Amino acid sequence: MRRGPTLRRRIAAGAAALAVLALLAACRGASDQSALEAAGPQAGRVERLWWFSFWTATAVYVLTVAALAWAAWRARRREREGGAQPLEDDRGMTRGVVAGVAATLAVLVVFFFYDLAVGSALSGPPTRAPLTIEVTGHQWWWEVTYADTSPHGRFTTANEIHVPVGQPVLLRLASRDVIHSIWVPNLAGKKDLTPGYTQTIWFQADTPGVYRGQCAEFCGHQHAKMGLLVIAEPPAQFAAWAKHSQQPAPEPGDSVTRRGQEVFLTGSCALCHAIEGTRAQSRAGPSLTGIGSRRTLGAGTLPNTRGNLAGWIVDPQRIKPGTHMPPNALAPADLDALLTYLESLK
Amino acid sequence: MTTSVLTTAPLPPDHARDAEEVAQLERTWRARRGLWGWLTTVDHKSIAIRYVATCMVFFLLAGANAALMRLQLARPENTFIGPDRYNQLFTVHGTGMMFLFAVPVMTAMALYLVPLMVGTRDLAYPRLNAFGYWVFLIGGVFLFVSLYLNMGPDTGWFSYVPLAGPEYAPGKRVDVWAQVVTFTEIAALVAAVEIIATVLKLRAPGMSLNRIPLYVWSVLVIAFMILFAMPTVAIASTLMLAMDRLVATHFFNRAEGGDPLLWQHLFWFFGHPEVYIMFIPGLGFVSAIIETFTGRRIFGYPVMVLSLFVTGFVAFGLWVHHMFAGPLPQLGQSFFTAASVFITIPTGTQIFCWIATIWSGRPRYTTAMLFALGFIVVFVIGGVTGVMLASVPFDLQVHDSYFVVAHFHYVILGGVVFPLFGAFYFWFPKMAGRMLSERLGKWHFWLLFIGTNVTFFPMHLLGLDGMPRRVYTYLPERGWGELNLLATVGSWFIAASVVVFLVNVLKSARGGAVAGANPWGAPSLEWATTSPPPSWNFTHTPVVESRSPLWEAGPAMPVATGLRTDRREFLVTTALDAIPDSRHEVPDESIWPLIMALAIGVTFIGAVFTPWAYVAGFTLASVAFGGWAFPRWSKAPPPPGRLDSSSPAREGA
Amino acid sequence: MTGRPTLRPTVQVLAHTVSNGMPQAAPRPTRAVLDVGDTPDVVFGVRDIMWWGTLGFVVIEGFTLAVCAVSYVYLGQNFPSWPPPGTRPPSVLVPTLHVVLMLASLPLMRWTSKAAHRFDVPKVRTGLTIATLLAAAFIALRTIELLDSLNVKWDTNAYGSAQWLVVGSHATLIAIEFVEVAGMALLFWSSRVQLKHLADAADIVFYWYFMVFGWLPLYVLCFLAPHWV
């Protein structure tokens, strides 16, 4: 017969557990896409709730396993000492079980009410007038429209959401095809984008920075590469960016750029992509107005460099297999001009 | 009609008469040999053993999917598996594990154990039982063959619309999924009906409700749950989703008034109870094992039974916690949070009762006991993260992330797989007549324990650090590479543990130490008969006088005489107090369950391609029904001067 | 009984035989305390194990119909009116005829069941034969209800899909009952009918009750409610 858990064994188990936690703490993910690096009050509240839950859960778990080990040890001791087998102590055991259940219930009740408080704090509407942004999910990119009452104020971009620091931002969520879910963990929990429904979520970024998010509802082939950036900047900077974005795209300044624009408008690009100020107005794919100043391509998949852009245009299927953009065979001079044109769209 | 008669004095044992009875039973219950015998058997033990083995094969296949997934995720931007194949792999992993392993293996174990534990000769409907197995087999083969033909479903085991609808999932992959659900749902409902009828009406005389073993209570609870959960998913997938795709109904088509949310409600109304259906029998296994290996009854029997029922009932009130991120009114969400938080109380109560049992007993640490204890150590981690997930704000952060993957693998491995392996070590001697190696068993346990923790613990952090679920790859800058690699290494430990188990089974099936009737000194009725039991289970129907019959009965077991040995029959008793009430003839071997299953197979596999399959299928099924129900004269005439159920019904009788 | 598992010699021997290599332990000798030789083997209703199978089917199918009905109501909230504008409401003539016929069948089925309890083979035979004809009529009426009375096709809109779901699901009950009743009637006309089939005939009546009573609320939901909402 095997011996039951001994003291040495328990110490070894505890040490192993600590080592594991230390190891895990060293293997953290990047801090720009984490629920444990809150950059705003919404994520902050949840992060605090998490730590409370973590420590409470750890205590409950350790106590439970310790109780089990203790029970086994006591039984072993009684057997060695030749005590009653089994021990008849219904009253004592009943009291033990009742105490355990009562303690569990107490912990759960505390957790439940704390959670309700957090939930109610988070579910209220924004305290000040929020900046409203419409986000529409597509397979596999994010359409971002800055709503404004005036027709000149509205503008659309893709895969990047600029927000002013310290101001509430309200996202109106919709989907053009299947269910997606927007999740920027540094800032807030997620919300689904369900076709046929409009949902809203609001958050506030208190620390300037670039925060990454990803689609969190399986939406097909390239669900894994449907990322987005939330760029939180000081209000003045944001206002300048917004004002600039309301302008149509700059006209080409030189012949190469002009040629690039021609390649864009006469080729297949304009069938799916819009550029404000040109006759390309299709909403099938992401708007390319301002693509020159976007940080990533392919919804957060690649850094926006000339080389990456070239690779993407020529064969997006190699980077995001299954994406709806087809490959484009272009003559090298045409490709070069196109790249120059797109880079000029800042 | 007269009821049973208590003899005034116990008859003295008569070995000559007993031997003759056994010989007669041998003749009456003899199984047919060869392939035909294998195809036509209605013996619940043969069917259940092959059912369990089939489930383990699906476990291996779905597990192989997981191993491949883990290889792909071990490095960022890995090119081992592309998105299309990966989406099929994870969908079939989930579908296979949930529909073809976790629930059916639990029902299959029940189909083996319940008649033995309640002291009867077979399940209530032996041919129906055979039918259930064949339908299950067809469904499972259909799923994996589709995967290997690159036609595997690829929209997740939960198959959300509109992604799984006709517009965004062209082809037949999702139709395959929808019909696999049909097959497994039919099999589960069959098992549920068998369990309920057997437990309520076929218990040995004297086994009143308060003497039913805790394991039997646990499977009775899930049988009731299956009756309500399975039809819901069948309507959603077999009817609504399949019809939307096949004949252009609009259940989920927003443009014509349909609603993608309807799918989520129906699926999760099934899906949440489904996980409790997998888990509650595990609680039953743990009770049976701890009872035996502490040498005392489980403390707090009434509370243990009540906990099972409360858990099963409350499980139907949690489903919206899978939909917190969706467009539902916030008002109702708190109700589901409360239910999801407080459902832990009954399970917690059970854990405390087990601890009390161990404290007051004399624990023996066999492999089965290790797995039962391992359940507590592993499952509670999943349990506490489950409580966290009940919180709406927290869930909105980690929903659909690797945190959830960690949570449910802890509760499934801890709450389903650990008890299941414990059950294998415990009951393999009864099923095979041989002991599994304890040495290999210990290796199996520790490899699985280490593997489980190394694979899934890091995933909690991955989820908190932003890694979503169902992604075939991730960017290197995310910093998720190390923990994913660690999880992959952990998965090799799990695989190793399974290999050790298989080696143990293969070695022990022929070469293991011979097991006697009761090698563990356990208290319940299945240990009163030989290992393995004869086709007729018990030579004489046991009479039960306590909750732990083999511990309380004394040197000779009380039994009931009077069942005929010249034809197959079992005793039917009253539902509450198990008073003998009538008897029922048990059918012989039959090929019709297989034929009926094939008709069902034609129907629902055909329905992937054309709605006319339903017409053809219904016709075939009616023919099979005719064959199944066609009356055969019993080979044994009734006792002289009496009629029995198979006597011709003449006019003016 | 205190519940304390006292160690008997046989159990004690076994209790020490764990892990590898234990001695053969045969099942314990038995002592007969009860004789069940006089229990009957044809019983009805709750006493009959086959009845419990029918009950299981009733619960499963009943819950299925309930979920279909709930889905029907759920989809209703997506429309400003029910049926939606542009879709005609169902006609009630044939459905009401159908319901009346179903209700009229109940006394006959009750009579058949009572005859079965009394082992009256000719009466049961008559009852089952008439029931077969009735079930065939139900099938015909249900076909008309689906193809004509509903006034909508399953692929027109979600309203049509929901109607076909509820009415169609119940139709499968009628189809199954027809096969059972026809098969049983045939059996009662043959010489192969056995005593146990009288209990099965009573079971069929039980299922018939479920088929009828399960339909009544659905008839209201599918054929009457669209006129009131």
Residue C117, classified by CB atoms within 10 Å of its CB into exposed (0-12), middle (13-18) or buried (19+), is: middle
pLDDT(A301) > 60? yes
Q: Which residues of C touch A88 (CB under 8 A)?
A: 2, 4
State the pLDDT at residue C20.
Answer: 23
pLDDT(B302) > 80? yes
Instruction: Please name the residue that has the structure tokens 């009954």.
Output: B346
State the pLDDT at residue A26.
Answer: 79
**Inter-chain CB proximity A1 and C18 less than 8 Å:** yes
List of residues 6+ apart from B488 with CB closer than 8 A: B70, B71, B73, B74, B455
Distance CA C175, CA C186 (A): 17
Q: What 8-state DSSP symbol labels residue C137?
A: H
State the pLDDT at residue B634.
Answer: 78
pLDDT(C180) > 70? yes
User: Looking at the structure, do residues A150 and A235 belong to the same domain, yes or no?
Assistant: yes
Asked if the C-beta of A51 comes within 8 angstroms of chain B's C-beta atoms, the answer is no
Q: Report B:419-448 residues touching C (Cβ under 8 A).
A: 435, 437-438
Mean predicted confidence (pLDDT) in B107-133: 98
User: Looking at the structure, do residues A289 and A196 belong to the same domain, yes or no?
Assistant: no
User: Does A63 fall in a domain?
Assistant: yes
Q: What 8-state DSSP symbol labels residue A225?
A: G
Distance CA A216, CA C201 (A): 56
Phi, psi (5° rounding) for residue B580?
-55, 130
Domain boundary residue among A97, A123, A149?
A: A123
Asked if the C-beta of A86 comes within 8 angstroms of chain C's C-beta atoms, the answer is yes
Secondary structure element (H or E) that encloses residue B571, with its range: strand B569-573
Q: What is the largest CA-CA distance in chain C?
A: 83
pLDDT(C15) > 50? no
Using CA coordinates, name the residue in chain A closest to C2: A88
**Inter-chain CB proximity A49 and B353 less than 8 Å:** no
Q: Report A:256-315 residues touching B (Cβ under 8 A).
A: 301
Indicate the pLDDT class of residue B6, thresholds 50, 70 and 90: very low
User: Looking at the structure, do residues A151 and A237 belong to the same domain, yes or no?
Assistant: yes
pLDDT(B330) > 90? no
HEC sequence for B214-244: HHHHHHHHHHHHHHHHHHHHHHHHHHHHHHH
User: Does A199 fall in a domain?
Assistant: yes
pLDDT(C3) > 50? no
List of residues 6+ apart from A283 with CB closer than 8 A: A143, A274
Q: Do the strands B557-561 and B541-542 form a parallel or antiparallel pair, or are they unpaired?
A: antiparallel
CA angle B532, B535, B536 (to 5 degrees): 115
**Inter-chain CB proximity B513 and C67 less than 8 Å:** no
State the pLDDT at residue C8.
Answer: 31
User: Does A4 fall in a domain?
Assistant: no
User: Does A301 fall in a domain?
Assistant: yes
Indicate the pLDDT class of residue B13, thresholds 50, 70 and 90: low
Q: What is the largest CA-CA distance in chain B?
A: 88
User: Looking at the structure, do residues A204 and A259 belong to the same domain, yes or no?
Assistant: no
For the segment C110-131, what is each residue's pLDDT rounded down to a tens digit? 999 999 999 999 999 999 999 9
State the pLDDT at residue A68.
Answer: 96
What is the domain count for chain A? 3
Pick C20's closest partner by Cβ from B7, B234, B513. B513
State the pLDDT at residue B223.
Answer: 98
State the pLDDT at residue B19.
Answer: 85
User: Quick check: pTM over 0.90?
Assistant: yes
Indicate the pLDDT class of residue B636, thresholds 50, 70 and 90: confident
For the segment B38-89, what is each residue's pLDDT rounded down to a tens digit? 999 999 999 999 999 999 999 999 999 999 999 999 999 999 999 999 999 9
Tokens of C182: 């026809």
Positive/negative CA dihedral, C36, C42, C48, C49: positive
State the pLDDT at residue A5.
Answer: 52
CA atoms within 13 A on the CB side of B130: 23
Indicate the pLDDT class of residue B640, thresholds 50, 70 and 90: confident
User: Looking at the structure, do residues A114 and A136 belong to the same domain, yes or no?
Assistant: no
DSSP C55-87: HHHHHHHHHHHHHHHHHHHHHHTTSSSSSPTTS
State the pLDDT at residue C6.
Answer: 33
Neighbours of chain B (3+ CB pairs under 8 A): A, C
User: Looking at the structure, do residues A70 and A52 belong to the same domain, yes or no?
Assistant: yes
DSSP A133-152: EEEEEETTEEEEEE--SSTT
Residue C100, classified by CB atoms within 10 Å of its CB into exposed (0-12), middle (13-18) or buried (19+), is: exposed
Phi, psi (5° rounding) for residue B648?
-60, 140
For the segment C68-80, what is each residue's pLDDT rounded down to a tens digit? 999 999 999 999 9
pLDDT(A146) > 70? yes
CB pairs below 8 Å between A and C: how many? 6
Using CA coordinates, name the residue in chain A closest to C17: A1
User: Does A249 fall in a domain?
Assistant: no
CB pairs below 8 Å between A and B: how many? 284
Residue-level length of chain C: 229
State the pLDDT at residue C17.
Answer: 30
State the pLDDT at residue A8.
Answer: 66
Q: Do the strands A168-175 and A199-204 form a parallel or antiparallel pair, or are they unpaired?
A: antiparallel
Does residue B542 have a cis bond before it (omega within 30 degrees)? no
Tokens of B22: 């056994």
What is the percent of chain B where pLDDT is above 70? 97
Asked if the C-beta of B332 comes within 8 angstroms of chain A's C-beta atoms, the answer is no
Q: Is B145 in contact with B601 (CB distance < 8 Å)?
A: no
Domain boundary residue among A219, A242, A265?
A: A242
**Inter-chain CB proximity A85 and B295 less than 8 Å:** yes
Asked if the C-beta of A138 comes within 8 angstroms of chain B's C-beta atoms, the answer is no
pLDDT(B11) > 90? no
Q: What 8-state DSSP symbol labels residue B202?
A: -
Long-range contacts, B78-82 (Cβ 8 Å, 24+): B78/B473, B81/B472, B82/A321, B82/B472
* Amino acid found at A36: L
For the segment B334-361, what is each residue's pLDDT rounded down to a tens digit? 999 999 999 999 999 999 999 999 999 9
CA atoms within 13 A on the CB side of B360: 24
The CATH number of the domain holding residue A305 is 2.60.40.420
Q: Which residues of B touch A68 (CB under 8 A)?
A: 355, 358, 373, 376-377
State the pLDDT at residue C229.
Answer: 78
pLDDT(A172) > 60? yes
pLDDT(A15) > 80? no
Mean pLDDT of chain B: 95
For the segment B399-446, what is each residue's pLDDT rounded down to a tens digit? 999 999 999 999 999 999 999 999 999 999 999 999 999 999 999 999
Using CA coordinates, name the residue in chain A closest to B254: A196
Q: Which residues of C touch B265 (CB under 8 A)?
A: 74
Q: Which residues of B306-315 are buried (b: 16+ CB within 10 A; e: fewer)?
A: ebbbbbbbbb
User: Does A14 fall in a domain?
Assistant: no
Q: Do the strands A160-164 and A168-175 form a parallel or antiparallel pair, or are they unpaired?
A: unpaired
pLDDT(B10) > 70? no
pLDDT(C182) > 50? yes
Mean predicted confidence (pLDDT) in B206-230: 98
State the pLDDT at residue C195.
Answer: 94
Please give the distance of CA B235 from its chain centroid, rounded to a whole number: 21
State the pLDDT at residue B14.
Answer: 61
- Nearest of C178, C156, C8, C181 to residue C85 by alpha carbon: C156
pLDDT(C5) > 70? no
User: Does A41 fall in a domain?
Assistant: yes
Secondary structure element (H or E) that encloses residue A335, with its range: helix A332-344
Mean predicted confidence (pLDDT) in A222-250: 94
Q: Which residues of B touch A190 (CB under 8 A)?
A: 325, 396-397, 399-400
State the pLDDT at residue C24.
Answer: 44
Q: Is B344 in contact with B307 (CB distance < 8 Å)?
A: no
Q: Which residues of A touch B462 (CB under 8 A)?
A: 29
CA atoms within 13 A on the CB side of B173: 27
User: Looking at the structure, do residues A113 and A182 belong to the same domain, yes or no?
Assistant: no
Mean pLDDT of chain A: 92
For the segment B152-178, what is each residue's pLDDT rounded down to a tens digit? 999 999 999 999 999 999 999 999 999
State the pLDDT at residue A12.
Answer: 73
Asked if the C-beta of B329 comes within 8 angstroms of chain C's C-beta atoms, the answer is no
**Inter-chain CB proximity A1 and C19 less than 8 Å:** yes
Q: How many CB atoms lie within 10 A of CB B9?
A: 7
User: Looking at the structure, do residues A176 and A207 belong to the same domain, yes or no?
Assistant: yes
What is the percent of chain B where pLDDT is above 90? 91
For the segment B530-543, what is each residue's pLDDT rounded down to a tens digit? 999 999 999 999 99
Distance CA B374, CA B362 (A): 18
Q: Which residues of B touch C29 (CB under 8 A)?
A: 13, 555-557
Q: How many CB atoms lie within 10 A of CB A248?
A: 11
Mean predicted confidence (pLDDT) in C47-53: 97
Mean pLDDT of chain C: 89
For the segment B545-599, what is each residue's pLDDT rounded down to a tens digit? 999 999 988 888 999 999 999 999 999 999 999 999 999 999 999 999 999 999 9
Q: Which residues of B touch A74 (CB under 8 A)?
A: 359
Using CA coordinates, name the residue in chain B closest to A55: B384
User: Looking at the structure, do residues A100 and A116 belong to the same domain, yes or no?
Assistant: yes
Indicate the pLDDT class of residue B219, thresholds 50, 70 and 90: very high
Indicate the pLDDT class of residue A9, thresholds 50, 70 and 90: low
Domain that holds residue A189: 131-242
* Amino acid found at A68: L
Q: Which residues of B93-119 are buried (b: 16+ CB within 10 A; e: fewer)?
A: bbbbbbbbbbbbbbbbbbbbbbbbbbb
Tokens of A255: 């012949």
For the segment C146-176, what is each residue's pLDDT rounded down to a tens digit? 999 999 999 999 999 999 999 999 999 999 9
pLDDT(C23) > 50? no
Asked if the C-beta of A75 comes within 8 angstroms of chain B's C-beta atoms, the answer is yes
Q: Which residues of A touch C4 (CB under 8 A)?
A: 86, 88
HEC sequence for B385-444: HHHHHCCHHHHHHHCCEHHHHHHHHHHHHHHHHHHHHHHHHHHHHHHHCECCCHHHHHHH
Domain boundary residue among A242, A272, A302?
A: A242
For the segment A80-137, what is each residue's pLDDT rounded down to a tens digit? 998 877 788 889 999 999 999 999 999 999 999 999 999 999 988 888 889 999 999 9
pLDDT(A4) > 90? no
State the pLDDT at residue B553.
Answer: 84
Asked if the C-beta of B393 comes within 8 angstroms of chain A's C-beta atoms, the answer is yes
pLDDT(B9) > 50? no
User: Does A11 fall in a domain?
Assistant: no
C-alpha dihedral (A195, A201, A207, A210), degrees to nearest 10: 0
User: Looking at the structure, do residues A180 and A201 belong to the same domain, yes or no?
Assistant: yes
User: Looking at the structure, do residues A115 and A149 belong to the same domain, yes or no?
Assistant: no
User: Looking at the structure, do residues A108 and A178 belong to the same domain, yes or no?
Assistant: no
Phi, psi (5° rounding) for residue A324?
-80, -5
Q: Which residues of A touch B483 (CB under 8 A)?
A: 24, 27, 29
State the pLDDT at residue A197.
Answer: 96
Asked if the C-beta of A176 comes within 8 angstroms of chain B's C-beta atoms, the answer is no
Using CA coordinates, name the residue in chain C closest to A89: C4
Q: Which residues of C touch A1 (CB under 8 A)?
A: 18-19
- More confident: A18 or B201: B201
